[in-house]
């Protein structure tokens, strides 16, 4: 009798383990879809406001600054505008020593 109880308990724990592993895998899948879908970026960086300043692309020195796309700076651009003179959100990476 004791052997049958032990065997039946192992069978129950196996199915519980399977459910727990499946739930964890589902959570990981949802997080990966959110990251690659861009939803996490909106959450981390805010809706679409530029935390730096809107400047022309040629004035944003790459190396000292980075360009963040998809912000409210895009509203200042017009159709057919030369790419180097587009307004971009220019965010400083490091402080300049002058």
What is the mean pLDDT, run by run of 10 residues, along the chain of 98 residues?
A: 56 77 94 72 62 80 76 75 78 68
Q: What is the pLDDT of residue 89?
A: 82
Give me 23's structure tokens: 């739930």
Q: What is the pLDDT of residue 2?
A: 58
Q: What is the pLDDT of residue 34?
A: 73
Query: In angstroms, what is the C-alpha Rg of the chain?
Result: 26
Q: What is the pLDDT of residue 26?
A: 96
Q: What is the pLDDT of residue 45?
A: 57
Q: What is the pLDDT of residue 53?
A: 78
Q: What is the pLDDT of residue 8?
A: 56
On whether the CB atoms of residues 93 and 64 are closer than 8 A, the answer is yes
Task: Answer whether 0.75 is exceeded by the pTM.
Answer: no
Give me 63's structure tokens: 């190396």
């Amino acid at each position: 009798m004791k052997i049958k109880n032990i065997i039946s308990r192992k069978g129950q724990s196996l199915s519980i383990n399977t459910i727990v592993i499946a739930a964890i895998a589902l959570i990981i899948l949802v997080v990966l879809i959110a990251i690659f879908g861009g939803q996490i970026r909106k959450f981390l960086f805010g809706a679409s406001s530029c935390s730096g300043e809107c400047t022309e692309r040629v004035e944003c020195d790459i190396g000292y600054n980075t360009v963040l796309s998809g912000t409210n700076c895009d509203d200042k651009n017009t159709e057919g505008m030369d790419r180097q003179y587009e307004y971009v959100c220019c965010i400083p990476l490091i402080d300049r020593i002058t």
